Copies of this chain bind each other. A is one copy, B any other.
């Protein structure tokens, strides 16, 4: 797929990602390293918690969302995260859930301080195989503009 630049986007554009399956092993491995709480670590213990089964760390869901975003938008030289707002996890991710994201370009503009770049504002909605929303967020990122060699003549 071609690399994307600021000029390839307009407000209101929507992009659907590929899908990504989250296994029990991945949930436990992420939790051991980053979020060692009982409901993320072991199915037997998780059954005694309010969730009644193993669930993924919200930060794991956020990380998988980033992976799907990077693959789908494929910005030239990458997208540099400036910040995230209103990150929510309305439904927990469970073993073997298949996640997919939809990215909407909420706003976009040229960067004033960095003329080679633009700033996009996006909304990412992550869903599972049942169409339930497992995560929502707004984010801002710095992305590259196309080089305008005509302007330098």
Using a CB–CB distance below 8 Å, which chain A residues touch chain B? Answer: 30, 33-39, 49-50, 57-59, 62-64, 66-67, 70-71, 77-89
Contacts and interface: CB of A to CB of B under 8 A. Distances in A.
18 contacts: A33-B63, A34-B64, A34-B66, A35-B66, A38-B77, A38-B78, A57-B63, A57-B66, A58-B81, A59-B59, A59-B62, A81-B89, A82-B89, A83-B88, A84-B84, A84-B87, A85-B86, A87-B87
Task: Please report whether the interface of chain A is mostly helix, strand, loop or mixed according to DSSP.
Answer: mixed
Nearest to A32: B67
B33 A49 contact: no
A114 to B, nearest CB: 8
Contacts of A64: 34
Contacts of A38: 77-78
Contacts of A36: 67, 70-71
Contacts of A49: 77-78
A84 B138 CA distance: 11
A37 B83 contact: no
Given A34-B67, A50-B80, A82-B88, 15 more contacts: A30-B63, A33-B63, A36-B67, A36-B70, A37-B78, A37-B79, A39-B78, A39-B80, A59-B62, A59-B66, A62-B62, A63-B63, A83-B86, A83-B87, A84-B87
A40 B36 CA distance: 25
